[in-house]
């Protein structure tokens, strides 16, 4: 079962009353190793036992958190050369995935000769890799990102499996060209599919992976593709403390649609790239309120967490929300009385730096 959120009020009390977050500290991130272990156990149980589960570094790139995940058996998915270099400081190279869609030649040279997983975005990038391979045989496991072109999820800005997505090569548009690429380049031994990073329901995620697996089985050279990177993107319910949907639900849906991935004789090793689904509810920010005021009849709380860390919540509040609790700064008792409609303002110097708008608190 996913972990309970009951630890959060207790953690706030410990931070305040024991001085873990001293009065001189404006704000801090608090992470639960226990919650992370619990959700990791559910993830590992939901997928084939041979799967490599990598954590999307963008979801929480803190060095200590990555070390915790390494100890739990994770690898690391990276989407920039900075993340890639950081991941290689923590994880063995053969547990690191590099997914940037705009890798330079120098970045490709850095990754190609390590035993990492390297996903290519397009045919031009493939041509670069082929040329480098001709000069010096590559070491990395190489895949091509295939866009299943199954449509948008509920958040268009975070959907990557629509027909015109900027990511990957469209399966419907370029099936013949993809097949030809795999026939011409025997170093292509992986296929990458990722439908979105939030707002994608389990049925659409399952549909996209089943479509790509059917394509791999039917059209690509037999036994050449040995790794299937199915990305991440399991949506997070930010509106409440409930963990939904769950890895168990996603795994069950995928197992029903593509049972061959669970066969002991399966020649496809699954790689996953979950991020927020692991980390989002395994931690919280704690911030001291510096000032309060009223403007135009609106009560405003001024504190230290805003668009610097809550980028999506501040810039796209209609799609993203963040749960907020109010605690006494001396006793750490949660305040649920004297509810006032409130804007929770952050420290940045622009008007939409609001962690919450018109929130009863």
- Look at residue 156 in the predicted model and tell me its pLDDT: 55
Residue 175 sits in a domain of what CATH number? Answer: 3.20.20.10
Prediction pTM value: 0.92
What's the angle, vertex CA 116, arms to CA 113 and CA 120, rounded to 5?
85
- Judge if 83 and 225 occupy the same domain: yes
- Judge if 147 and 223 occupy the same domain: yes
Within-domain flag for 259? yes
Residue 302 sits in a domain of what CATH number? Answer: 2.40.37.10
Q: What residue numbers bound the domain in which 214 lies?
A: 33-279
Within-domain flag for 4? no
Q: What would the DSSP string read from start to end of 224-279? A: T--EEE--------TTSS---S-HHHHHHHHHHH-GGGG-TT---EEEE---HHHH
Going residue by residue through the chain (361 aa), what tens digit of pLDDT does each one get?
A: 666 778 999 999 999 999 999 889 999 999 999 999 999 999 999 999 999 999 999 999 999 999 999 999 999 999 999 999 999 999 999 999 999 999 999 999 999 999 999 999 999 999 999 999 999 999 999 999 998 866 555 555 555 656 566 778 989 889 999 999 999 999 999 999 987 666 678 988 899 899 999 999 999 998 999 999 999 889 888 888 888 899 999 999 999 999 999 998 788 999 999 999 999 999 999 999 999 999 999 999 999 999 999 998 999 888 888 999 999 988 899 988 889 999 999 999 999 999 999 999 9
- Judge if 303 and 271 occupy the same domain: no
Place of tokens 């072109």: 149
Cβ atoms 205, 250 nearer than 8 A: yes
Q: Tell me the H-state helices in 47-168.
A: 63-71, 81-90, 105-112, 123-135
Cβ atoms 88, 111 nearer than 8 A: no
Within-domain flag for 221? yes
- Look at residue 152 in the predicted model and tell me its pLDDT: 58
Instruction: Give dist(CA 72, CA 227) in Å, integer.
Output: 22
**Selection from 27, 38, 52 nearest residue 5 by Cα:** 38
Within-domain flag for 129? yes
Whole-angstrom distance between the N-terminal and C-terminal Cα of the chain? 30
- Look at residue 155 in the predicted model and tell me its pLDDT: 58
Within-domain flag for 120? yes
Within-domain flag for 256? yes
- Look at residue 330 in the predicted model and tell me its pLDDT: 87
Task: Select from 255, 279, 303 the last residue of a domain.
Answer: 279
Instruction: Give dist(CA 141, CA 52) in Å, integer.
Output: 13
Total residue count of the chain as it appears in this document: 361
Task: Select from 260, 279, 298 the last residue of a domain.
Answer: 279
- Judge if 62 and 105 occupy the same domain: yes
- Judge if 168 and 232 occupy the same domain: yes
Within-domain flag for 26? no
- Judge if 330 and 207 occupy the same domain: no
Task: Select from 226, 244, 279 the last residue of a domain.
Answer: 279
- Judge if 91 and 192 occupy the same domain: yes
- Judge if 250 and 304 occupy the same domain: no
Within-domain flag for 28? no
- Judge if 247 and 325 occupy the same domain: no
How many Cβ atoms are within 10 Å of 216's Cβ, its own excluded? 18
- Judge if 344 and 309 occupy the same domain: yes
- Judge if 119 and 232 occupy the same domain: yes
What is the number of domains present in the chain? 2
Q: Tell me the H-state helices in 185-237.
A: 202-219
- Look at residue 219 in the predicted model and tell me its pLDDT: 95
- Judge if 203 and 324 occupy the same domain: no
Locate 53 and state its tokens: 């589960």
Most distant CA atoms of the chain, gap in Å = 71
């Amino acid at each position: 079962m996913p972990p309970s959120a009951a630890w959060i009020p207790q953690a706030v009390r410990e931070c305040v009353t024991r001085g873990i977050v001293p009065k001189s500290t404006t704000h801090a991130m608090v992470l639960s190793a226990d919650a992370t272990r619990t959700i990791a156990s559910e993830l590992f149980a939901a997928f084939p036992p041979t799967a490599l589960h990598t954590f999307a570094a963008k979801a929480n790139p803190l060095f200590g958190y990555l070390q915790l995940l390494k100890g739990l058996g994770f690898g690391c998915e990276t989407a920039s050369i900075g993340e890639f270099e950081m991941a290689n400081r923590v994880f063995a190279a053969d547990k690191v995935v590099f997914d940037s869609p705009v890798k330079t030649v120098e970045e490709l040279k850095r990754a190609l000769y390590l035993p990492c997983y390297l996903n290519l975005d397009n045919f031009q990038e493939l041509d670069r890799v082929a040329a480098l391979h001709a000069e010096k045989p590559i070491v990395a496991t190489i895949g091509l990102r295939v866009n299943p072109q199954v449509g948008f999820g509920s958040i268009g800005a975070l959907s990557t499996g629509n027909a015109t997505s900027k990511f990957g090569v469209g399966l419907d548009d370029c099936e013949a060209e993809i097949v030809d690429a795999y026939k011409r380049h025997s170093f292509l031994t992986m296929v990458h599919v990722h439908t979105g990073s939030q707002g994608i329901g389990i049925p659409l995620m399952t549909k996209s992976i089943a479509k790509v697996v059917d394509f791999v089985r039917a059209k690509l050279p037999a036994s050449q593709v040995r790794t299937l990177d199915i990305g991440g993107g399991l949506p997070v319910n930010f509106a409440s403390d409930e963990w939904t949907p769950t890895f168990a639900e996603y795994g069950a849906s995928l197992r029903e649609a593509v049972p061959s991935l669970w066969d002991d004789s399966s020649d496809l090793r699954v790689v996953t790239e979950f991020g927020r689904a692991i980390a989002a509810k395994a931690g919280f920010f704690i911030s001291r309120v510096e000032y309060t005021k009223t403007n135009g009849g609106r009560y405003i709380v001024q504190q230290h967490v805003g668009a610097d860390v809550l980028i999506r919540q501040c810039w796209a509040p209609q799609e993203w929300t963040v749960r907020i609790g109010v605690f006494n700064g001396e006793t750490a008792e949660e305040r649920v009385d004297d509810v006032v409609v409130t804007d929770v303002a952050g420290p940045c110097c622009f008007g939409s730096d609001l962690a919450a708008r018109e929130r009863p608190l």
